[in-house]
């Protein structure tokens, strides 16, 4: 390690993902000097690989589509879906501010919002996607951050947070450049932590959910979401809350290219695929595949996995939400074919009998399952009778080769984390702020500690992470002597 270097700044932000960059923009707008430290080679975090969808209420896009939405309606949906452990105060704050302080704010920073999508639990469409998804969203926000004079150091990992007396005074970090590591001692008036979640650290997932140790669970967040921030906050006496609130996805298969065997890949847009358990039986309406429907159904199977069965035409539009399977925002079909051919967790066969043998499921049960499913099409039914799956986007199994993809639960998003107050100040076990320390984004369960509760309406991770980043950045700059703190503009129409 090369000698240590000293630096100083007003607002120091740990993590250059959604929350960190939003915090940086806000603090710069308040007039503070800002330095963001990012441990990976590129900034963007999970946010840059995300679907780029945010739950936003009362938007011009909704108006154009003839959708009438109000903060009250969204709040009701949110609380019904997330249950009693959703933080009502943060949820209300986010929902009311999402129009001006996320939608229009992002536009002012170069982002274009392009379309809406329906998501489970919402009574109207409000999942609002940025052009070029997470990639487009974050590329524009990072460019805006830099244009406003923000400093960003990549390949720089924070290893400790320093304190004098009760006050946080800066951090110790290691930065790598040209194969040389240098220790940095950085002093700051305030530190904002925005290190993301811990779902790319399966040990922490299983610590929070010990009952899942009995079967396979896949890691599935951004590559930097290893729980570093949770450990740092814990070492300072910060309070971690709702750590067991983890949002799992079901349509996920192990990433066979990952040497550790821990990471998973989520796939989408294989309409018509059905899920069959190791007993060779369907167990769920596969059109409800979300974290509050498909995931609990999968996790109730014994053993805790299933097989997503398709024929060849059903795979025509399959996508994999991982950067390796994309060029920018475009799907790389050749790489998807490579996965279908090479993954030991995916089998291909010319007959259903052969497929059953490869899956090692009960062959008679499996063939009966497919026959009964196909029969619903033969009868011209709109919905299959067993689990109520609408058949409009589906087809019978009739065009070999047939495929089966082994699916396991994948830990995607953390709905719990560091407890903060409404200014995003990190709280200790007495619920008093740790002086000079802020937390935002997924580290803080997206905002405040547990804004979603047990289930999210989707778009309720990225949106609140960006928003809480802004709140943290505004108040951090204020504490450093710049600006009036985050105010924003609620929409109470």
Ligand X SMILES: Cc1cc2nc3c(=O)[nH]c(=O)nc-3n(C[C@H](O)[C@H](O)[C@H](O)COP(=O)(O)OP(=O)(O)OC[C@H]3O[C@@H](n4cnc5c(N)ncnc54)[C@H](O)[C@@H]3O)c2cc1C
Question: Of these, 45, 254, 453, 483, which contacts ligand X (CB under 6 A)?
Answer: 45
DSSP per position, 264-310: EEEEE--TT-EEE-TTS-B-S-TT--STTTHHHHHHTSSSS-EEEEE
* Residue 418 interacts with ligand X (CB under 6 A): yes or no: no
Interface mask toward ligand X for 384-413; x: CB under 6 A: ----------------------------xx
Interface mask toward ligand X for 442-461; x: CB under 6 A: xx---------------xxx
Provide the CB-side half-sphere exposure for 221 (13 A, CA): 31
How do 319-320 and 425-427 pair as beta strands? Answer: unpaired
In whole angstroms, give the CA distance from residue 108 to residue 470.
Answer: 14
Give the CA dihedral 32, 24, 57, 491, nearest 10 degrees.
Answer: -10
Tell me how long the chain is: 493
Of 183-191, 347-355, 462-470, 472-480, the window that binds ligand X (rule: CB under 6 A) is: 462-470
Residue nearest to ligand X according to CB distances in the complex: 17
* Residue 157 interacts with ligand X (CB under 6 A): yes or no: yes
Of 280 and 473, the one with the shorter C-beta distance to ligand X is 473
Of 192-200, 256-264, 342-350, 403-411, the window that binds ligand X (rule: CB under 6 A) is: 192-200
Judged by CB under 6 A, how many residues of this single chain contact ligand X? Answer: 43
Beta strands in 118-258 (DSSP E): 127-130, 151-153, 156-164, 167-177, 180-193, 218-219, 240-241, 246-249, 252-254
* Residue 91 interacts with ligand X (CB under 6 A): yes or no: no
Find the helix or strand (DSSP H, E) in which 235 lies: helix 228-235
Of 69 and 228, the one with the shorter C-beta distance to ligand X is 228
In whole angstroms, give the CA distance from residue 378 to residue 489.
Answer: 56
Q: What is the distance between the terminal CA atoms of the chain, rounded to a whole angstrom?
A: 57
Closest Cα to residue 454, out of 467, 445, 442, 463?
445
* Residue 264 interacts with ligand X (CB under 6 A): yes or no: no
Minimum CB separation from ligand X for residue 342, in Å?
Answer: 21
Residue corresponding to tokens 């052969």: 354
* CA-to-CA separations, 17 to 192, 225, 251, 379, in angstroms, rounded: 12, 10, 25, 51
Task: Identify whether the C-beta of residue 87 lies closer than 8 Å to the C-beta of residue 448.
Answer: yes
Question: Of these, 150, 196, 264, 291, which contacts ligand X (CB under 6 A)?
Answer: 196
* Residue 273 interacts with ligand X (CB under 6 A): yes or no: no
- Which of positions 301-360 make contact with ligand X (CB under 6 A)? 321
* Residue 228 interacts with ligand X (CB under 6 A): yes or no: yes
Minimum CB separation from ligand X for residue 7, in Å?
Answer: 15
Residue corresponding to tokens 């200014």: 423
Task: Identify whether the C-beta of residue 480 lies closer than 8 Å to the C-beta of residue 455.
Answer: no
Minimum CB separation from ligand X for residue 485, in Å?
Answer: 21
* Residue 224 interacts with ligand X (CB under 6 A): yes or no: yes
Question: Of these, 24, 150, 463, 473, which contacts ligand X (CB under 6 A)?
Answer: 463
How do 53-55 and 240-241 pair as beta strands? Answer: unpaired
Minimum CB separation from ligand X for residue 150, in Å?
Answer: 15
Minimum CB separation from ligand X for residue 400, in Å?
Answer: 31
In whole angstroms, give the CA distance from residue 327 to residue 318.
Answer: 15
Of 123 and 160, the one with the shorter C-beta distance to ligand X is 160
Minimum CB separation from ligand X for residue 357, in Å?
Answer: 33
Minimum CB separation from ligand X for residue 225, in Å?
Answer: 5
Question: Of these, 28, 32, 35, 39, which contacts ligand X (CB under 6 A)?
Answer: 39
Of 369 and 452, the one with the shorter C-beta distance to ligand X is 452
* Residue 158 interacts with ligand X (CB under 6 A): yes or no: yes
Question: Of these, 62, 122, 175, 221, which contacts ligand X (CB under 6 A)?
Answer: 221
Of 132 and 311, the one with the shorter C-beta distance to ligand X is 132
Question: Of these, 35, 225, 434, 472, which contacts ligand X (CB under 6 A)?
Answer: 225
* Residue 238 interacts with ligand X (CB under 6 A): yes or no: no
Please confirm whether the linkage preceding 420 is cis (ω < 30° from 0): no
Minimum CB separation from ligand X for residue 134, in Å?
Answer: 6
Exposure of 281 by Cβ count < 10 A (0-12 exposed, 13-18 middle, 19+ buried)? middle
Minimum CB separation from ligand X for residue 17, in Å?
Answer: 2
* CA-to-CA separations, 117 to 45, 56, 267, in angstroms, rounded: 23, 11, 17
* Residue 46 interacts with ligand X (CB under 6 A): yes or no: yes
- Which of positions 49-68 make contact with ligand X (CB under 6 A)? 49-54
Interface mask toward ligand X for 4-33; x: CB under 6 A: ----------xxxxxxx-------------
* CA-to-CA separations, 155 to 2, 15, 86, 183, in angstroms, rounded: 15, 11, 35, 12
Minimum CB separation from ligand X for residue 396, in Å?
Answer: 32
Cβ-proximal residues to 147 (8 Å cutoff; 6+ apart), any chain: none
* Residue 137 interacts with ligand X (CB under 6 A): yes or no: no
Closest Cα to residue 37, out of 222, 188, 197?
188
Beta bridge partners of 152: 36
Minimum CB separation from ligand X for residue 231, in Å?
Answer: 9
Binding stretches for ligand X (CB under 6 A): 14-20, 37-40, 45-47, 49-54, 157-158, 194-196, 221-222, 224-225, 228-229, 321, 412-413, 441-443, 459-463, 465
């Amino acid at each position: 390690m090369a000698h240590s270097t000293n630096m100083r700044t007003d607002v120091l932000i740990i993590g250059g993902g959604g929350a960190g960059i939003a915090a940086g923009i806000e603090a710069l707008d308040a007039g503070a000097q800002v330095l963001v430290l990012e441990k990976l080679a590129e900034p963007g975090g999970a946010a840059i690989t995300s679907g780029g969808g945010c739950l936003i209420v009362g938007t011009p896009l909704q108006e154009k589509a003839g959708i009438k939405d109000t903060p009250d309606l969204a709040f009701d949906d949110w609380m019904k879906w997330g249950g009693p452990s959703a933080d009502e105060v943060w949820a209300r704050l986010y929902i009311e501010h999402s129009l001006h302080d996320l939608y229009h704010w992002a536009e002012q920073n170069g982002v274009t919002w392009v379309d809406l999508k329906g998501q489970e639990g919402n009574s109207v469409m409000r999942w609002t996607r940025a052009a070029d998804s997470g990639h487009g969203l974050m590329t524009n926000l990072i460019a805006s951050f830099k244009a406003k004079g923000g400093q960003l150091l990549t390949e720089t990992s924070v290893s400790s947070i320093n304190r004098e007396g009760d006050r946080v005074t800066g951090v110790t970090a290691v930065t790598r450049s040209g194969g040389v590591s240098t220790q940095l001692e950085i002093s700051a008036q305030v530190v904002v932590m925005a290190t993301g979640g811990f779902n790319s650290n399966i040990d922490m997932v299983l610590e929070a959910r010990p009952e899942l140790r009995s079967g396979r669970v896949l890691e599935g967040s951004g590559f930097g979401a290893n729980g570093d921030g949770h450990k740092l906050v814990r070492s300072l006496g910060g309070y971690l809350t709702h750590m067991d609130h983890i949002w799992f996805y079901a349509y996920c298969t192990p990433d066979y290219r990952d040497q550790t065997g821990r990471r998973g890949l989520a796939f989408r847009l294989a309409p018509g695929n059905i899920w069959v358990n190791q007993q060779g039986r369907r167990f769920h309406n596969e059109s409800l595949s979300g974290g509050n429907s498909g995931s609990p159904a999968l996790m109730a199977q014994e053993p805790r996995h299933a097989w997503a069965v398709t024929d060849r035409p059903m795979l025509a539009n399959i996508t994999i939400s991982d950067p390796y399977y994309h060029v920018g925002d475009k799907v790389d079909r050749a790489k998807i074919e490579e996965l279908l051919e090479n993954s030991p967790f995916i089998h291909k066969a010319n007959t259903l009998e052969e497929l059953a043998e490869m899956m090692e499921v009960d062959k008679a049960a499996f063939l009966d399952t497919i026959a009964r499913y196909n029969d619903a099409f033969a009868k011209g039914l709109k919905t299959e009778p067993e689990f109520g799956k609408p058949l409009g986007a589906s087809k019978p199994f009739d065009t070999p080769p047939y495929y089966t993809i082994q699916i396991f639960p994948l830990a995607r998003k953390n709905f719990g984390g560091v407890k903060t107050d409404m200014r995003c100040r990190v709280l200790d076990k007495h619920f008093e702020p740790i002086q000079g320390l802020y937390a935002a984004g997924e580290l803080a369960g997206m905002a405040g500690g547990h804004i979603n509760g047990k289930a999210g309406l989707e778009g309720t991770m990225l949106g609140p992470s960006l928003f809480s980043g802004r709140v943290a950045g505004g108040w951090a700059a204020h504490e450093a002597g710049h600006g009036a703190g985050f105010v924003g503009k609620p929409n109470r129409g």
